[in-house]
Amino acid sequence: MNNIDIIIQTLTNYFKNFETPTVRSTSIATKDPFKILISCLLSLRTQDKNTEKASRQLFEVASTPSEILKLPIKKLETLIFSSGHYKKKARTLKHVSKIILKDFNGTVPSTEEELLNIKGIGRKTANIVLAFAYNKKVIPIDTHCHRLPNRLSWVKTKTPEQTEFELMKILPKKYWKEFNTLFIKFGKNICLPISPLCSKCPINNYCKKVDVIKSR
């Protein structure tokens, strides 16, 4: 576990010029909690290029809870079609916008409890908002952030939620905010789910390669 600092710093330097995921780039560009929330909801179960397209098309037309509520459902579905699961996501966006307007006066809540009480918002999405919009000390965990710490043997967990709580015990807080972005870049470009590119990996010497059967 003494290699965490070296691994994080090495990966940070290696991936500094790689493309930033849409949800993080949205938060850097706008710092708008609602746009960050919506981009994250659109990013679920789809590729980042689809998130970027859907977010851009939607925000050109509607970028506030009231504007999304005013959109006809078919129009909303068309705007976010590229994100996949567009019918379900459109209903989620409508519901989330309604609750934020009705219960929070149009402002995205800034606590975990309030966010998780809104149907359609899970732990990853809540933590994305808390970290990127409100600078809270949390660790957003997606599939890469769950898979790679297990491969590195930092944790031995079955679910993203378990990974989140185990990482909170061992990962220095200074890394929490950018851990999600960094490990998404790592997981998409080098440490692939099947046949990772170990020969190109900058931290190959530090990796335990847990459950890696074939690599390149």
Q: What is the CATH number of the domain that holds 59?
A: 1.10.340.30
To which residue do tokens 């746009």 refer?
35
In terms of domains, do 108 and 190 share one?
A: no
| Domains of the chain: total | 2
For residues 145 and 86, state if they share a domain.
no
Residues 150 and 68 in one domain: no
Over residues 145-198, the pLDDT tens digits come to: 999 999 999 999 999 999 999 999 999 999 999 999 999 999 999 999 999 999
Residues 85 and 58 occupy one common structural domain: yes
Q: Is residue 70 part of a domain?
A: yes
Q: Can you tell me the distance from the alpha carbon of 174 to that of 27, in angstroms, rounded to the nearest whole number? A: 18
Supply angle C-alpha 192, 197, 202, rounded to 5.
105
Same domain, residue pair 35 and 111: yes
Query: Do 109 and 183 sit in the same domain of this protein?
Result: no
How far apart CA 17 and CA 15 sit, in angstroms, is 6
Q: Is residue 215 part of a domain?
A: no
Candidates 1, 10, 2, 7; CA nearest to 153 is 1
Reading the chain (216 residues) residue by residue, the pLDDT tens digits are: 559 999 999 999 999 999 998 889 888 888 899 999 999 999 988 888 999 999 999 999 999 999 999 999 999 999 999 999 999 999 999 999 999 999 999 999 999 999 999 999 999 999 999 999 999 999 999 999 999 999 999 999 999 999 999 999 999 999 999 999 999 999 999 999 999 999 999 999 999 998 888 889
In terms of domains, do 63 and 126 share one?
Answer: yes
Strands (E) in the chain, as ranges, are: none
CB neighbour list of residue 117: distance below 8 Å, 6 or more residues apart: none
Query: What is this structure's pTM?
Result: 0.90
Domain membership of residue 181 as a residue range: 4-18+139-206
